[in-house]
Amino acid sequence: MNPFATLREVRDAVQHGTRSAVEVCTEALARIEAHNPQLNAFNTVTRDEALAQARAVDARADRRSLPLAGVPVAVKDNLCTRGIRTTASSRILERFVPPYDATVVARLQAAGAVVVGKANCDEFAMGSSNENSAFGPARNPWATDRIPGGSSGGSAVAVAAGMSPLALGSDTGGSIRQPAALCGLVGLKPTYGRVSRYGLLAFASSLDQVGPFTRTVEDAAIALSVLAGHDPADATSAPEPVADYVAALGRSATGLRIGVPRTLVHQGVDEEVARAFDEALEVYVRAGATLVDIELPSASAAIPVYYLVATAEASSNLARYDGVRYGFRAKAEGGPGAQDDLRTMYGRTRDEGFGAEVKRRIMLGTYVLSAGYYDAYYLKAQQVRTLIRRDYEHAFESVDVVAMPTSPTPAFRIGERVADPLQMYLADIFTVSANLAGLPAISIPCGFTSGSLPIGLQLTGRVFDESTLLAAAHAYERETSWTSRVPVLSNS
């Protein structure tokens, strides 16, 4: 089977019995074996477990009705998998083996999907390049000297390189959409509360959301239909009814109102990205959509607000990694028999166990929450967050979706920005506001640079209106052929 087959093509073949789940799984594992040494998409490849799952799918009586029958899936390594180590790409969890599955993993498996491995990512999902991984950077299949984006970089690489037609990521400030854009894929961040986070290693709890990477919008709709829904184990998951996202596709763009925040999208955007964005809007207009100029006046402050809120929450969430209940514990100095006191053990464990970016964010978050600075930073950021939400609420009175580039630049070179964290944070300018406002947003392929690097278009929708968002994305996809282009890999 073509390694770049879509989720639906794989699923249909297994449902109809033209391919077995074991055959599909074996091919995916061979593809991973051939390309993972170069691309570093996976921290752990679950060969034996995957083949066992595939055999179980082939034996299921209800195989013909499984929405993800035999579909190989890469799971970001910050989602718990029972009996399979889950590291968050951190040394502190290098040997952590969860005793339970994340709800999204259980849902995928119940739907017939086969987990082929745990995907590389930035440590604890903190980063925009996948360079902050204790297991080394993942590489972009379109140009292996470049980053795939982050933090869900390995998930994006797995799908872009034809290792699996589906991957799960998490998105706190753009960590699904930005790597999807830089790797030429569809990446969906659902509404806050739409998908369960039980079993997701928490980074910033008021922002984190789980979502799929796929090759097409239809595949994203199929995946979301499996992932979405209330989970009693996650108090923030919403009881709102789940729509039929696949049935929502196929609408024409006629009558679709697309908001374009002109002031925002013309700041610091790469020329080729800006041109691809403008051309995408023209495609929509030709297809019958209407463009509406909108203002999101507070969105220009989204980056500072995001880095104040996210680091504050991270400093609290990561307090649990203390070398007592799970994970790494540093050895006492002084050789055999030496013992630290408890506080020294905590401090040494966390200093040795966490990487530089995670420590930087814990430090920043601890500072902005500390006595005397809480009001000036954390509270102030939460107030501006309210203004950002209101900007979108106001915009959605006159538009159905908001369009922006996903990333201001195409994939940059590995190492180019590591010395300047602030420069790295600016990569998130167009993505963080959807998290701050809790809105669903999707990145879809909208072109390539002259150097053949993918460019992404981001659409943001109303709360719990993934149907309109996916339909709008699908209307564009049908008018273009970007999704059929695939990277050329060595030894493929």
Partner 1 sequence: MLAFGMPATFSKAQIEAIAALAHLRLDEGEIELYAKQLGDILEYANQVQNIDTTGVPPTASVAIKHEADRADVVHQSLDRASALANAPDASMDAGLFKVPRVIG
Residues 6+ apart with CB under 8 A from 226: 67, 68, 107, 108, 111, 113
- 300 in catalytic set: no
Give the span between the Cα atoms of 460 and 297, in whole angstroms: 16
CB nearer to partner 1: pick between 224 and 302: 302
Considering CB under 8 A, how many residues would be counted as binding partner 1?
Answer: 77
What is the phi/psi pair of residue 52, to 5°? -65, -40
Structure tokens at 280: 């995408």
CB nearer to partner 1: pick between 144 and 300: 300
Run of H or E including 273? helix 271-286
CB nearer to partner 1: pick between 30 and 319: 319
Of 90, 151, 155, 467, which residue is the catalytic one?
151
Binding part of the chain for partner 1, among 52-60, 117-125, 173-181, 315-323 by CB under 8 A, reads 315-323
Per CB under 8 A, does 417 bind partner 1? no
CB nearer to partner 1: pick between 29 and 395: 395
DSSP string, 64-86: GG-TTTT-EEEEETTB-BTTB--
- Proportion of the chain in helix, strand, coil states, percent, rounded to 5: 40, 15, 45
Give the span between the Cα atoms of 70 and 262, in whole angstroms: 44
Give the span between the Cα atoms of 6 and 119, in whole angstroms: 19
Binding part of the chain for partner 1, among 170-178, 230-238, 398-406, 475-483 by CB under 8 A, reads 230-238
3-state secondary structure of 464: coil
Q: Where in 159-218 is the site for partner 1 (CB under 8 A)?
A: 192-193, 206
- Binding track over 241-280 against partner 1, x by CB under 8 A: ----------------------------------------
Q: Where in 72-111 is the site for partner 1 (CB under 8 A)?
A: 95-97, 99-100
Find where tokens 């770049």 sit.
4
Q: Where in 285-314 is the site for partner 1 (CB under 8 A)?
A: 298, 301, 303-305, 307-308
| Of 403, 409, 443, 474, nearest in space to 181 by CA | 443
Per CB under 8 A, does 377 bind partner 1? yes
Q: Angle formed by the axes of helices 7-16 and 217-227, to 10°?
A: 70
CB nearer to partner 1: pick between 55 and 230: 230
Of 128, 175, 225, 407, which residue is the catalytic one?
175
Q: Where in 17-76 is the site for partner 1 (CB under 8 A)?
A: none
- 175 in catalytic set: yes
Q: Where in 320-349 is the site for partner 1 (CB under 8 A)?
A: 322-329, 332, 339-348
CB nearer to partner 1: pick between 4 and 367: 367
- 151 in catalytic set: yes
Note if the bond before 151 is cis, omega within 30 degrees. yes
Per CB under 8 A, does 375 bind partner 1? yes
Residues catalogued as catalytic: 76, 151, 175
